[in-house]
Amino acid sequence: VSLLIRGAVLDGVPSSIRIRHGRIASVTPSEGGPEETAGRVIDGRGLHAFPSFRNGHTHAPMVLFRGYGDDMPLMDWLSKRIWPAERHLTEEDVYLGTRLGILEMIKGGTTFFNEMYWHRPGIVRAVEEMGMSALVGATMIDLGDPAELARQKEEVEDLVSKRRAAKGAAASYSSRGVAELALAPHSIYTVSPPVLEWIGAIAREEGLLLHIHLSETAGEVEDCVRAHGCRPARLLERLGLVGPHLIAAHGQYLDDDELEVLGDAGATVVTNPTANLKLATGAIFPYRRARAAGVRVGLGTDGAASNNNLDMLEEMKVAALVQKHAERDATALPAAEALAMATTSAAEAFRLGSGRIEAGAPGDLVLVDFSGPATQPLHDPVSMLVYAANASNVHTTICGGRVLMEAGKVEVCDEQEVIASARDAVTRLLERTTRSA
Ligand SMILES: [Zn+2]
């Protein structure tokens, strides 16, 4: 199976990009001699090629709750809207919600997402059907119910041993559009230290990535210091969770000592600026200090209930703007760094190859159309992408060499059916929730 993208502009040069067996086989200037015509050819003339985007932290099925209770204080919103509805959520609802989330991501040029939610099999099914690549966490919350905790532990053990048995699964993860397992304890305030320690040991032994919410609110830090005598990142270090495999979401309240711990260990922090602003968490992620400490920084949308979309282009812009504002410095977090957070840094953190369009890298890329009025005239493609473009500029999305969308037409599902069935699922879900209230 081969794919040729002819004439798309890459780093200022019209180029031919050949993809074979899911990987980029070659990148050459378009005028570089006769073109082979075997396999599929995409006419990229007039379009710009970029690496596809990686959503570093999300809860994709929560698109079902998009706009359901905006402008509410966090605890009110959770206790009156989200938790009552989530109690009635089925695996089928999660599957249908994830499909809608993936459809939105494909249309916005995202080919990978780092996921943490319930009913994992429903998420995995949607990922596999739609040709996405995803890290799907085995999510754990330990709120003092021993039976529920035992069930979650058993699930983790089962998933880990199945993964071990599936020889070679890990090797094929980066290039094939599949779901890989991560361990996803929700946070330090919902999972007890002994359980965190247990998860940390499994992650180390099995070589799995570990995904957790960290230092999202001032209250989380205060409670941690009171209960454990140290701040959240130091607690994770003490429990053996800090290493290059750690993916910590948020991190606005990390102090310099914690950033140093994470940086020295080669850990990643994924910032989610839109959700932080919307939920008024009260602090901006310390991007410059994090980078100075050697922390790898990724970018995520968080769930659509607190964003309210999964548009990584919008997220890059917001990330850049909040840093400039917080630092009172227009040179803070320039466009190229915002793009790197969503591409090369993310690829490194999630073990997805280089995250660049180059020979040997996984065939993950997008073609962007800047010809419309909101993206002309074109002085600098990267600036245009980050500051002026949005999901509607994405023309073609390719994951692991498979065309998920070309010229705005999604090829891996019936778009209208995906939208309608998610809408029906949430209507039924809210009926069940109201009936039992
Ligand atoms: Zn989150």
**pLDDT range class, residue 371, cuts 50, 70, 90:** very high
- For the purposes of burial, counting CB atoms within 10 Å of the CB of 437, is it exposed (0-12), middle (13-18) or buried (19 or more)? exposed
Q: Measured in angstroms, how far is the CA atom of residue 71 from the centroid of ligand 1?
A: 18
Q: Measured in angstroms, how far is the CA atom of residue 15 from the centroid of ligand 1?
A: 38
With a cut of 80, say whether residue 376 has pLDDT above it.
yes
Mean pLDDT of the chain: 94
With a cut of 70, say whether residue 34 has pLDDT above it.
no
35-44, 113-122, 233-242, 337-346: least confidently modelled range: 35-44
Q: Measured in angstroms, how far is the CA atom of residue 275 from the centroid of ligand 1?
A: 9
- In this prediction, residue 167 carries a pLDDT of 60
**pLDDT range class, residue 37, cuts 50, 70, 90:** low
Tens of pLDDT, residues 241-284:
999 999 999 999 999 999 999 999 999 999 999 999 999 999 99
Q: Measured in angstroms, how far is the CA atom of residue 249 from the centroid of ligand 1?
A: 7
Q: Measured in angstroms, how far is the CA atom of residue 294 from the centroid of ligand 1?
A: 23
- In this prediction, residue 84 carries a pLDDT of 93
Q: At what angle do helices 415-436 and 91-107 cross, to 10 degrees?
A: 140
137-146, 225-234, 298-307: least confidently modelled range: 137-146
Q: Measured in angstroms, how far is the CA atom of residue 207 from the centroid of ligand 1?
A: 23
**pLDDT range class, residue 33, cuts 50, 70, 90:** low
